[in-house]
């Protein structure tokens, strides 16, 4: 990490080039110059924190090919969304370790699908060990913390305890904890001195009932409130730019004393429905680099990217 420069955060690892949230994706990110690797965290049935973007694992593992787990298929409503599939909280760590990761977006990232079936689901402990061995930071996100607390699997205590065991408990640690949920960050604030990041999406609001909408969070008063419990803001990058021009959010956040780490720079438009992706350029790294350069010029303090190699190049050129 180069002191004072914007940080490059490998989003789910180098997830543009390896199946997301695998030790292979994190290792490649480190080789490519990421300053931080990002595990999204969910718990197993026996309370172990593992890295998955969501607790429903059918899109990113081979669980559907395991007849021994067929009866675990379930329907759940999580943060107001009903879904059917297999969920990490129904598996012990030992059971999850028998699954293998697969690429979430094989149509957009066919080269990644060549790694399907090769990698395990990593634990937070394994990710911490990898980060420490390579002198990079970690940037964990607590996923669905209110839901997990409601089923007796709260995330905060385990996360803080594991970070503490690693010697990371104050603002000097190479760690940021991010969450969309305000109540989760406020709980963490009472438990640790680790730097906290309030995530903000371009629409809607957090799952915790008492939280303000994202739009309210981005007013001057809202930013001042965030600064009472968080070190920085993690906005969806579209909030920073309108019609190719700076919206002023970076300056407003800085005025409130908050750092700004937007998400997520990637080469492909993964949000288009599959039928509409034919026109997108899967190798549009030039366009991604231009976008990184523009947002760096607005004064961001770091950014999440699926392509840390291009991220580090854009950061170093800025």
Does 40 bind Ca ion (CB under 5 A)? Our answer is yes
- Alpha-carbon span 204 to 305, nearest angstrom: 23
State phi, psi for 295 to the nearest 5 degrees: -70, -30
CB-wise, 186 or 266, nearer to ligand G3P? 266
The least distance separating Ca ion from the CB of residue 141, rounded to whole angstroms, comes to 4
267 binds, among Ca ion, ligand G3P, none (CB under 5 to 8 A by kind): none
The least distance separating Ca ion from the CB of residue 11, rounded to whole angstroms, comes to 7
Contact pick of 234, 235, 302, 311 for ligand G3P (by CB under 6 A): 234
The least distance separating ligand G3P from the CB of residue 53, rounded to whole angstroms, comes to 6
Sign of CA dihedral 163, 164, 166, 171: positive
The least distance separating ligand G3P from the CB of residue 221, rounded to whole angstroms, comes to 24
Angle between helices 23-31 and 124-134 (to 10 degrees): 20
Q: Which residues contact 13 (CB under 8 A, 6 or more apart)?
A: 20, 21, 22, 24, 25, 26, 27, 28, 29, 37, 38
The first and second tokens of residue 313, run together, are 């190049």
254 to 283, contacts with ligand G3P by CB under 6 A? 263-264
The least distance separating ligand G3P from the CB of residue 11, rounded to whole angstroms, comes to 6
Contact pick of 7, 8, 11, 232 for ligand G3P (by CB under 6 A): 11
CB-wise, 35 or 95, nearer to ligand G3P? 35
Q: How many helices (H) and strands (E) does the chain have?
A: 12, 15
The least distance separating ligand G3P from the CB of residue 143, rounded to whole angstroms, comes to 7
Closest CA to 194 of 217, 215, 174: 174
| Contact string (CB under 6 A) for ligand G3P, positions 169-188, x = contact | ---------x----------
**What is the total count of residues that contact ligand G3P (CB under 6 A)?**
10
- Alpha-carbon span 211 to 83, nearest angstrom: 24
Does 141 bind Ca ion (CB under 5 A)? Our answer is yes
Applying CB under 6 A, the residues found at the interface with ligand G3P are 11, 40, 53, 141, 178, 199, 234, 263-264, 304
Applying CB under 5 A, the residues found at the interface with Ca ion are 40, 141
């Amino acid at each position: 990490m180069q002191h004072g420069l914007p940080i490059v955060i490998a989003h789910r690892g180098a997830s543009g080039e390896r199946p997301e949230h695998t030790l292979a994706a994190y290792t490649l990110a480190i080789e490519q110059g990421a300053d931080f690797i990002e595990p999204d965290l969910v718990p197993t049935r026996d309370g172990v924190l593992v890295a998955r973007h969501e607790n429903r694992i059918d899109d990113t593992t081979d669980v559907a090919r395991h007849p021994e787990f067929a009866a675990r298929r379930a329907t759940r409503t999580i943060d107001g969304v009903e879904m059917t599939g297999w969920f990490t909280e129904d598996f012990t760590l030992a059971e999850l370790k028998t699954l293998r990761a697969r690429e979430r977006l094989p149509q957009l990232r066919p080269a990644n699908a060549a790694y399907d079936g090769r990698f395990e689901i990593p634990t937070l402990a394994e990710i911490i060990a990898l980060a420490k061995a390579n002198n990079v930071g970690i940037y964990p996100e607590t996923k669905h913390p209110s839901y997990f607390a409601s089923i007796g699997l709260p995330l905060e205590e385990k996360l803080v305890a594991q970070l503490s065991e690693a010697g990371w408990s104050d603002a000097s640690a190479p760690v940021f904890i991010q969450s969309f949920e305000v109540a989760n960050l406020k709980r963490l604030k009472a438990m640790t001195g680790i730097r906290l990041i309030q995530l903000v999406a371009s629409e809607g609001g957090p799952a915790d009932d008492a939280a303000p909408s994202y739009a309210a969070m981005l007013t001057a008063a809202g930013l001042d409130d965030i600064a009472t419990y968080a070190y920085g803001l993690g906005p969806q990058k579209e909030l920073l730019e309108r019609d190719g021009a700076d919206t002023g959010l970076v300056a407003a956040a800085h005025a409130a004393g908050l750092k700004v780490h937007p998400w997520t720079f990637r080469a492909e438009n993964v949000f288009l429905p599959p039928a509409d992706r034919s026109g997108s350029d899967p190798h549009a790294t030039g366009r991604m680099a231009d976008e990184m350069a523009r947002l760096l010029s607005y004064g961001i303090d770091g950014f999440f990217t699926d392509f840390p190699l291009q991220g580090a190049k854009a950061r170093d050129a800025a």
